[in-house]
Amino acid sequence: MELAGSSALVVGGAGGFGSATVRRLARAGARVVIADMADDRGKELADELDGRAVYVRTDVTSEESVDAAVEAATGLGPLRTTVIVHGGPVAGKRLVNKEGKAYPVETFRRTIEIYLIGTFTVLSKAAAAMTRNEPLDSGQRGVIITTASIAGYEGQVGQTDYSAAKGGVIGLNLTAARDLAPAGVRVVSIAPGVFFTPAYRMEEEQAQAMWGKGVPNPKRMGSTDEYARLVLAIADNDYLNGEVIRIDGALRFS
């Protein structure tokens, strides 16, 4: 995928994975829309990139909001790369707690809405915009990269809603790639393991001590730039399609 002269949309672009990805895409020549709800961080990143990126406040649970982000991207150039890497609340509670109270259905529903339905909303809207692009010499019109998680395969205690949502992203991937194949739009998903991001709300040294030692090799948490570099590799390689790529240092949750 040719990034120079094109636009890119990064949903969750002000977060840890997202900001690293925005920087990499901008350096590669794309003009980037930072779509997020973290206004201060999004605007600060746009200012840092000095005209190569713009911030657009975006709520993935609102079709109108996603439409506006896609429109902003297409206004910067042909939208050829979309990365869906937004976060959201994770309750981290068991199905039934020690008092015998069931996990709230509304909390489960909200997690699915943000992580799975939100991913589908962005994917479908971005894909529709990409189908209107002129094809490159390769016949390709765009690539959409979603973000799953190894929790979608091996969910841990307290992750019923998050694991179900990320498992849904995994299940969506191949069918979406097949649906969009005639239009020359690829779909690939990244399933990260344990990566240090601001979501941990602790110092990196503390997080590494808690989580990094469980990773087989390299024996540390991943860095957000390693995620971003994988995004660039996927964008560059047209034969990567319909695949879920684990990036986890061989970690398998038991």
CA distance 95 to 91: 11
CA distance 133 to 144: 14
CA 103 to chain centre: 26
Is residue 247 a contact partner of residue 190, using CB atoms and an 8 Å limit? yes
Catalytic residue among 55, 103, 153, 162: 162
CA distance 243 to 14: 26
Using the structure block, give the residue that is written with the tokens 């949750």.
Answer: 253
Closest CA to 87 of 54, 114, 123, 112: 114
The token duo for 23 is: 């920087």
DSSP codes of every residue in 95-133: SB-TTSPBPPHHHHHHHHIIIIIHHHHHHHHHHHHHTTS
162 noted as active-site residue: yes
Give the residue numbers annotated as catalytic, written as ranges.
162
